[in-house]
Amino acid sequence: MERLVELIGNGAVPLAELAERAEVSEMDIRRAVQMDGRFAVIGESLAYSPALHDGTVWTVPIDPDDASGESSDGTRSDGTPHEIPGGFVRAEPHLITLAWWLVTNPVPRLDADGNEIDRLRDVGIWVDDHDADVIYGSADWLEGVGPIAAFHVTTDGIRVEPLDQAPAPDPDQVAAVRAAYDEVATEHDASGFGDVSQRPQFTVVVSVLLEALARNGDAFRKAPIAPVPELLAAAGLELNDGLVAETGFDWDGLGAWQNRNRLSAAYGLSDDQLDGLMMMVGACELVAEIGDAAFGGTDDERAGARILFAGLLADSSITGAFLQETQERGLNFHAIQTFTESILAGVGGTGVDVSGVVWLRSLCHAIAGEWDDAIRIVETHVDESTTHSLLLVEAAFNAADRSEAAKAQQLLTRAGVTRADDESMLPEEALRLLDEIQPFTGRRARTDVKRNDPCPCGSGRKYKQCHLGKEALALDERAPWLYEKACRFVRGEAPDMLEFVAAGLSEHADDLYESLIDLPFTMDLVLDEYEEWNQFLEQRGQLLPDDERELAAVWRDVPRAVYAVESTRGSRVGGELRLRNVATDEIVVVAGVQLDERIEPDQYFVGRPLPVGDTYRSMSGFFPLDASRADEAMAAIAAGENEALLGVLAAELTLD
């Protein structure tokens, strides 16, 4: 590294030249510097940031809310705490060329005598609804700096001082910025961007500034640098969200063009489909404001627009893109509900495919808590001619909850959901459903009735002509599936609660979080302690077979308890576990357990054995507990203090 720093100096040196002089390959150099923020790649050249910036003074307006830290909600973009002790300065645009340097190498903040005060760092945090790079030091590093600050950069560190006013743009710096922009700005394919006779030209601000520093570093060292937007404006340029273009550039057109390209890449839509999609999204925005006039000015125009939109939404890719775009624009489901209601009301009798509209209507009903209507509209509109994959998958979920495994599989197959070499484009929840129903698609109910015997249903027909192959599995065979249905509901409707419980259990063992979130016991805590059983029965209960709905209601009311092992019997697969409720001394025998050789008498567990007929089953899982914590766990359970129970269980996973 020292050799590279020496060869580069305070400018930028072509990589090919560096490789020749250092007697290594260009790839060796790229590998060596790729995670070292002190080095900046500028085109095909390499610069050493401390030397490149040495002697420059950057003018930075200080936002008072940023300086106090009040403009941030305290998190990174992933929702975790950012741990900045005080205020911060946004790196973009004024200090953006320093950002990567400060990410990997905290830089000393110096006083007027060159002594280190603290260290400046760069981190990404969540500010104003987007991820932003910010620079920060100790808690009080911005006290007394004022509304404008000068950042003096040297190879030893950075000195931050207040300024009375910002300097005017220096002519030599302006010329360097203009020349840099002309060098690095890129022309782009104009397809779909306003006037197609002109190719839009723009680039990112950091590229312009680094190129300008590399081209004429002396110009930036001889005078303080004006605030970046003013410097760019003096060069005939303007800044917008990190991008730089000629003054007067069509930023709205660029945004629409970029969005169009994003949609095309994400959903593989043609130009005509994209036009239709954007027209639909615009109409959906307007419906809430102006009603049916959003579909057109005349009856014929409105009728034609409804037919067009229904036809477009019959393509599941466009339906998914429409939902995504309306959410991106902040439209609520009431707007989508009004939009789709108007379409359905206006296309009756036209024969147009309304499957995409129906799927959106079902979603709106579910969001509004109208569970019966959400199910009914799907059941009413799905038939043998339906090809809309999203609607078919929704119908498959309904069939699975009715324990119609074969029908659910047929619907998934029609939707294109199969286990194949490439499953990357298939929705994860649909693949999970396929795995869920697989054990039940080829199973038949136990029966002693022969093929030619009278059917037990009393129809008078032979068994083979009536119910052979159509029998429902016995409840004890369906019990594990019933529990899995409830788990599927939690994954789809309460994922945040599942994550919350897993995080609570892994409080002292972060590395166990991923395994805990998939643990049956974790799922059961969400179902029982956090009352998702009630939600499951309210939203999906009408689909369950009567005996399953009754059993689910029983399971909902089974209390959690601390159990001690009395004895075990049988093999590791299909064994029997005899447990004593520590609080009541009640004995329960859990059948069909995969016995672990480490299970011993008097070992303690927290759990909810679930009754199925005359036996108990272990679908809900058990959590091992040290006997010394039994009283604490029982007290938390008795008091209904869920977080206290999580704390007791988390202590079991404490890593020494």
- One-letter identity of residue 317: S
82 neighbors 46 (Cβ within 8 angstroms): no
Rounded to an integer, the average pLDDT of 279-298 is 91
- By C-alpha distance, which of 59, 8, 41 is closest to 211? 41
pLDDT digits 0-9 by tens, 243-252? 999 999 999 8
Tell whether the model's pLDDT for residue 428 goes beyond 60. Answer: yes
Q: Helix (H, G, I), strand (E, B), or coil: what is residue 61? A: strand
Q: Give the confidence band of 78 by pLDDT, cuts at 50, 70, 90.
A: confident
In this predicted structure, which of 80-84, 197-201, 393-397 has the lowest mean pLDDT? 197-201
Query: What are the φ/ψ torsions at residue 629 (nearest 5 degrees)?
Result: -105, 5
Beta strand 243-246 with 622-625: parallel, antiparallel or unpaired? unpaired
Rounded to an integer, the average pLDDT of 183-194 is 69
Say how far apart CA 323 and CA 335 lie, in whole Å.
11
Positive or negative: CA dihedral 647, 650, 655, 656: positive
pLDDT digits 0-9 by tens, 400-416? 999 999 999 999 999 99
Tell whether the model's pLDDT for residue 422 goes beyond 80. Answer: no
- One-letter identity of residue 217: G
Tell whether the model's pLDDT for residue 147 goes beyond 80. Answer: yes
Q: What percent of the chain is modeled with pLDDT above 70?
A: 92
pLDDT digits 0-9 by tens, 156-183? 999 999 999 999 999 999 999 999 999 9
In this predicted structure, which of 191-195, 372-376, 386-390 has the lowest mean pLDDT? 191-195
259-440: in CATH 1.10.3470: no
Say how far apart CA 386 and CA 616 lie, in whole Å.
42
pLDDT attached to residue 2:
84
* Token pair of 487 as six digits: 């788990």
Q: What Cα–Cα distance (Å) separates residue 572 from each residue in 545, 568, 577, 598, 615? A: 32, 10, 11, 11, 18
- By C-alpha distance, which of 639, 643, 648, 557 is closest to 604? 648
Average pLDDT, the chain: 90
pLDDT attached to residue 655:
52
Half-sphere exposure of 190 (CA within 13 A, CB side): 10
Query: Do 259-440 and 557-651 show the same overall fold?
Result: no
The residue among 637 and 3 whose pLDDT is bigger is 637
Q: What Cα–Cα distance (Å) separates residue 560 from each residue in 5, 517, 520, 651? A: 65, 19, 14, 18
Rounded to an integer, the average pLDDT of 353-367 is 96
pLDDT digits 0-9 by tens, 298-330? 999 999 999 999 999 999 999 999 999 899 888
In this predicted structure, which of 82-86, 491-495, 499-503, 584-588 has the lowest mean pLDDT? 82-86
pLDDT attached to residue 455:
64
pLDDT attached to residue 427:
81
140 neighbors 86 (Cβ within 8 angstroms): yes
Architecture of the structural domain at 2-51: Orthogonal Bundle (1.10)
Q: Give the confidence band of 266 by pLDDT, cuts at 50, 70, 90.
A: confident
Q: Helix (H, G, I), strand (E, B), or coil: what is residue 121? A: strand
Tell whether the model's pLDDT for residue 192 goes beyond 90. Answer: no
pLDDT attached to residue 467:
47
Rounded to an integer, the average pLDDT of 546-551 is 97
pLDDT attached to residue 598:
74
Domain ranges of the chain: 2-51, 58-151, 171-254, 259-440, 557-651
The residue among 9 and 573 whose pLDDT is bigger is 9
How many H helices and E strands in the chain?
29, 21
Q: Give the confidence band of 196 by pLDDT, cuts at 50, 70, 90.
A: very low
Superfamily of domain 557-651: Nucleic acid-binding proteins (2.40.50.140)
Q: Is the pTM of this model over 0.85?
A: no
Beta strand 89-90 with 130-136: parallel, antiparallel or unpaired? antiparallel
pLDDT attached to residue 596:
72
| Helix pair angle (299-313, 316-328), 10° resolution | 110
